């Protein structure tokens, strides 16, 4: 029994001798001990004394470093202490030399490294702040562009009131100017090419859904003959839904870039709701939605040009077209004017193909005068050019299934030799069209309960903003958010 115990004791001593740091890992000049490890070696607990083997003279391992597993003895290796984490520059500078030696030269090098580290930290912090500021500016610009796009292109209206139930006038040549009789003949051809008057009169309601892509493509400022352009290429994608019902009721909902615009008409009142203005009513007579005239509602389009005049011919995309011109009457312009904003003119041009008889191009332009208190008047001219493509029959009615619009906002008058120009673009595609939808009733066109009548505050706010003479982008954003854009929209 004693012999067996001597064997295990000898085996244990040999294992301990083999794991001894002094025998297994000789000191190397290239390896330096960390200050924390030397501090741990110097520290000895007072209540724990190391026991020595009498026969070998080697110290015995503590009981915590030995564990028994399945009747055998296992040795738990000692745990090495980790070096502390440096919050400053590397004292060794990657060369493996200790930071304690070197005297004054080492201290000078260390101070230099600290200075470099602080400078690099400051520069990284300032660059991070600059990046955050640039991101904030880009986000603000994107929101301004989105607000401008929705304000101008979200729900623009036609120039005049149209009664869709009234029949087209009979073609008359006697005692009728040649411009008016030619326009009536062109409209008769358009109605026939679109599906015929009988089929159009059988439509009680209509539904259309499509997708849109808008972009504020360019901002231009001209001062004293010098032009400054700021191109913008941030396009926004979205979609819209349009419902129509006789007589003169419609509702449109357009979502773009996380924002949404609602607009509608119950036959007696036109209203619009935007995230920045809420719900508000439009001044003047009830007018149809311009988007419906872009190849979606041939019946309303024909009624719109009933009193138009033929002014000539022009090629659009290589196709010969007749030009019909329609002007809003002074009574309508006066009814649409409000506060310091006065609508001077609103003109609509329709380009009808001589080959197919269909409407292929629509252009409307209106001029608004804003009288600033105690200052010069400011003029805003808005022009929208729409190109209609891809006509296909839907239940016998010819519908344009794609197109694009180019919008130009031109501001001038308050400062001599100075103007601003903003250009926007829109492309759309129609995905679904249906007529005589079951279940559609007048309840679908009820205005919102929070609708407010009148917007003198918006006009006053716009007039006050003109006194500050902001930049072109700010002016364009403000005009889209206020009721001056309502003449484009609601």
pLDDT in tens, 467-480: 333 433 343 344 34
pLDDT in tens, 405-428: 999 999 988 776 778 999 999 999
Considering the chain, what is the average pLDDT of its residues? 75
Percent of the chain with pLDDT over 70: 62
pLDDT value for 277: 85
pLDDT in tens, 274-318: 988 889 899 899 999 999 999 999 999 999 999 999 999 999 999
481 compared with 402, residue with greater pLDDT:
402
Whole-model pTM? 0.67
pLDDT value for 151: 87
Average pLDDT on 104-127 reads 55
Q: Is the pLDDT of residue 36 over 50?
A: no
58 compared with 18, residue with greater pLDDT:
18
Contact (Cβ atoms closer than 8 angstroms) between residue 282 and residue 271: yes
Question: 465: which 2 tokens?
Answer: 């903003």
């Amino acid at each position: 029994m004693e012999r067996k115990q001597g064997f295990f004791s000898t085996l244990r001593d040999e294992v301990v001798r083999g794991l001894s740091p002094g025998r297994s890992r000789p000191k190397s000049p290239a390896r330096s001990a960390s200050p924390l490890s030397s501090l741990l070696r110097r520290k000895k607990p007072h209540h724990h004394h190391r026991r020595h083997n009498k026969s070998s003279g080697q110290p015995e391992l503590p009981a915590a470093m030995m564990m028994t597993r399945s009747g055998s003895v296992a040795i738990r290796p000692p745990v090495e202490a980790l070096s502390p984490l440096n919050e400053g520059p590397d004292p060794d500078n990657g060369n493996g030399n200790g930071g304690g030696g070197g005297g004054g030269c080492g201290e000078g090098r260390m101070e230099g490294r600290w200075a470099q580290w602080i400078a690099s930290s400051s520069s990284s912090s300032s660059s991070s702040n600059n990046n955050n500021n640039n991101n904030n500016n880009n986000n603000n610009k994107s929101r301004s562009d989105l607000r401008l796009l929705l304000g101008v292109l979200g729900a623009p209206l036609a120039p005049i009131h149209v009664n869709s139930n009234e029949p087209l006038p009979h073609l008359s040549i006697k005692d009728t100017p040649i411009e008016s009789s030619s326009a009536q003949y062109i409209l008769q051809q358009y109605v026939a090419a679109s599906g015929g008057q009988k089929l159009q009169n059988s439509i009680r309601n209509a539904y259309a859904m499509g997708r849109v892509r808008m972009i504020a493509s360019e901002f231009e400022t001209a001062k004293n003959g010098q032009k400054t352009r700021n191109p913008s290429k941030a396009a926004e994608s979205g979609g819209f839904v349009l419902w129509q019902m006789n007589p003169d009721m419609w509702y449109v909902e357009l979502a773009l870039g996380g924002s949404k615009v609602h607009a509608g008409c119950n036959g007696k009142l036109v209203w619009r709701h935007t995230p920045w203005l809420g719900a508000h009513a439009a001044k003047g007579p009830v007018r149809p939605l311009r988007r419906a005239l872009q190849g979606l509602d041939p019946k309303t389009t024909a009624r719109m040009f009933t009193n138009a005049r033929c002014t000539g011919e022009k090629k659009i995309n290589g196709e010969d077209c007749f030009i019909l011109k329609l002007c809003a009457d002074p009574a309508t312009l006066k009814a649409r004017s409000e506060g310091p904003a006065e609508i001077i003119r609103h003109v609509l041009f329709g380009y009808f193909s001589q080959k197919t008889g269909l409407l292929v191009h629509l252009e409307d332009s209106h001029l608004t005068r804003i009288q600033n208190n105690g200052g010069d008047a400011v003029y805003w001219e808005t022009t929208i050019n729409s190109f209609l493509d891809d006509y296909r029959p839907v239940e016998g009615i010819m519908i344009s299934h794609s197109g694009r619009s180019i919008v130009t906002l031109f501001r001038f008058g308050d400062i001599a030799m100075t103007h601003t120009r903003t250009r926007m673009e829109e492309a759309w595609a129609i995905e679904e069209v249906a007529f005589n939808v079951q279940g559609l009733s007048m309840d679908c066109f009820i205005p919102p309960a929070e609708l407010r009548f009148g917007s003198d505050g918006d006009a006053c706010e716009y007039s006050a903003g003109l006194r500050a003479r902001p930049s072109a982008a700010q002016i364009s954003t403000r005009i889209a958010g206020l009721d001056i854009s309502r003449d484009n929209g609601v």
